[in-house]
């Protein structure tokens, strides 16, 4: 898997092994997910990138990334700081273009359709490809409940039974029990870990097909991290997840596939993408091995 082609056509045996590679304390999470056989049932969505490049001004930061994210799988993006993981993940839901000098080339296909095609309504793309940021960012002017449902208001979606939706989103994000009695409080009144789960619940409310998570646990304590990993395992049953992480154990625990990015001073490149167990046990590329074993990065 040293070429930049995708990894959609992997057999399920290898995914099963993922759970064996996980630490014992978290095996329950992993086995819960593995039981649902991610990737085996095609949910009708898929995200693919073909030859994606990215620039900030004249600076070429990402070179020729082609990756597949099959429906219902969790893919971890790993690599040293500055190799372009965030940039890549932000090209997937067109958040990249908010940076004034940003440019991109290549194609990002959602269900086979290029999200950068002329005439595309970008707000519709972002509804289908949700995002959770590194720093929890609830809307402080809204209550907890309003935060969860804010996506409906922002995208002008009419829903009749919002109470049900509110409860199901918070439940899926693993936050319901902690906040069910304080839905009227302001979003800022929660702890950092709770805020991050609130942000996850918020992105679930608009029912995205793909959820992008850029280091969602990097500001959190181990307990909150564990709960969010549980959440990810739960969510993977119904959606495609792409997660950037600096935590190798986390990548091993939560993901089915792992892609390793690296920049040798030039633009970031994808060195290797394979089932997670393979990346961690028998990587093809020496640089991947060095990185995942902690020899650099």
Partner 1 sequence: MSVELSERPAPPAPREITTQPRRSDQIFRIVVTIGGMASLVILGLIALFLSIKGLHILTEEKLGFITGSAWEVITDDTGSIAESKFGIGAMLVGTFLSAMIAILVGVPISVLSALYLTFYANGKVKKFLISVIDLMAAFPSLLFGFWGFFVFMSSAEYWAKLINKYLGFIPFFDVPTPIFERSPFIAGLVLAIMIIPIVTSISREIFDQTPLDRIQAAYALGATRLAMIKAVVIPFGRGGIIGGAMLGLGRAMGETVAVYTVLNVVYQINWQILFGAGGNVASLILLKFGEAGPAEVDALMAAGLVLFILTLLVNAVADLLINRFGGKGR
Binding site for ligand ATP (CB under 6 A): 56, 59, 61, 79, 81-87, 99
Least distance to ligand ATP, CB of residue 214, Å: 7
Taking the least distance from each CB to partner 1, the nearer of 139 and 176 is: 139
| Position 86 contacts Mg ion (CB under 5 A) | yes
Distance CA(291)–CA(104), nearest Å, equals 27
d(CA 177, CA 247): 28
Identify which range of 54-62, 74-82, 120-128, 286-294 contacts partner 1 by CB under 8 A.
Answer: 120-128
Q: E strand or H helix at 18, and its extent? A: helix 12-20
282 binds partner 1 (CB under 8 A): no
Which of 268, 233, 279, 287 shows the shortest CA–CA distance to 26? 233
Least Å distance between CB 231 and Mg ion? 21
The residue (of 173 and 213) whose beta carbon lies closer to Mg ion is 213
Which member of 150, 194, 240, 277 binds partner 1 (CB under 8 A)? 150
Residue choice 110, 131, 179, 200 for contact with partner 1 (CB under 8 A) = 131
Strands 210-214 and 102-110: unpaired
DSSP β-ladder status, 46-56 and 102-110 = antiparallel
**From partner 1, ligand ATP, Mg ion, none, which one binds at residue 87 (CB under 5 to 8 Å depending on kind)?**
ligand ATP
How far lies 270's CA from each of 177, 193, 212, in Å? 40, 31, 18
- What is the phi/psi pair of residue 84, to 5°? 105, 15
What b/e readout covers 28-55, taking b as 16+ CB neighbours within 10 angstroms? ebbeebbeeebbeeebebbbbbbebbbb
Whose Cβ is closer to ligand ATP: residue 86's or residue 288's? 86
Residue with the closest Cβ to ligand ATP? 86
DSSP symbols for 157-186? ---S-HHHHHHHHHHHTT-HHHHTT-TTSB
Interaction of residue 96 with partner 1, rule CB under 8 A: no
CB of 35 to partner 1, least distance (A): 31
Q: Is 133 in the site for partner 1 (CB under 8 A)?
A: yes
- Count the neighbouring beta carbons within 10 Å of the beta carbon of residue 59: 10
203: partner contacted, choices Mg ion, partner 1, ligand ATP, none (Cβ within 5-8 A by kind): partner 1
Residue with smaller CB distance to partner 1, 38 or 130: 130
Residue 249's CB is within 10 A of a number of other CB atoms, namely 15
> Smallest Cα–Cα separation from 169: which of 158, 180, 160?
180
Nearer to partner 1, 18 or 150 (CB): 150
Please, which residue, 4 or 91, has the CB nearer to partner 1? 91
Site for partner 1 in 153-172 (CB under 8 A): 153-156
Chain residues in the site for partner 1 (CB under 8 A):
93, 95, 98, 123-124, 126-127, 130-131, 133, 135, 137-142, 150-151, 153-156, 186, 199, 202-203, 206
């Amino acid at each position: 898997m040293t070429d930049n082609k995708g990894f959609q056509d992997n057999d399920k045996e290898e995914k099963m092994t993922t759970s064996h590679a996980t630490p014992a304390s978290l095996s329950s999470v992993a086995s819960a997910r593995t039981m649902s056989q991610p990737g085996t049932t095609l949910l009708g969505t898929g995200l693919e990138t073909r030859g994606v490049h990215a620039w900030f001004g004249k600076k070429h930061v990402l070179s020729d990334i082609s990756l597949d994210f099959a429906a219902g799988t969790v893919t971890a993006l790993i690599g040293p700081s500055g190799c372009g993981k965030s940039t890549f993940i932000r090209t997937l839901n067109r958040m990249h273009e908010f940076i004034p000098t940003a440019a991109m080339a290549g194609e990002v296909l959602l269900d086979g359709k290029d999200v950068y095609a002329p005439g595309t309504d970008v707000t519709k793309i972002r509804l289908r490809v949700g995002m959770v940021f590194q720093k929890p960012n609830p809307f402080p002017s809204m209550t907890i409940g309003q935060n969860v449902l804010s996506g409906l208001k922002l995208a002008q979606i009419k829903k009749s039974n919002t109470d049900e939706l509110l409860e199901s989103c918070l439940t899926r994000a693993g936050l319901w029990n902690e906040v069910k009695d304080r839905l009227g409080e302001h979003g800022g009144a929660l702890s950092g870990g709770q805020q991050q789960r609130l942000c996850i619940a918020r992105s679930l409310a608009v029912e995205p097909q793909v959820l992008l998570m850029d280091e969602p646990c990097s500001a959190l304590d181990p307990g909150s991290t564990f709960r969010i990993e549980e959440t990810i395992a739960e969510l993977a049953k119904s959606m495609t997840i792409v997660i950037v992480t600096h935590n190798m154990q986390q990548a091993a625990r939560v993901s089915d596939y792992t892609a390793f990015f690296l920049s040798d001073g030039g633009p970031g490149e994808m060195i290797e993408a394979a089932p997670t167990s393979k990346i961690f046990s028998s990587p093809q590329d020496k640089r991947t091995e060095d990185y995942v074993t902690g020899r650099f990065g």
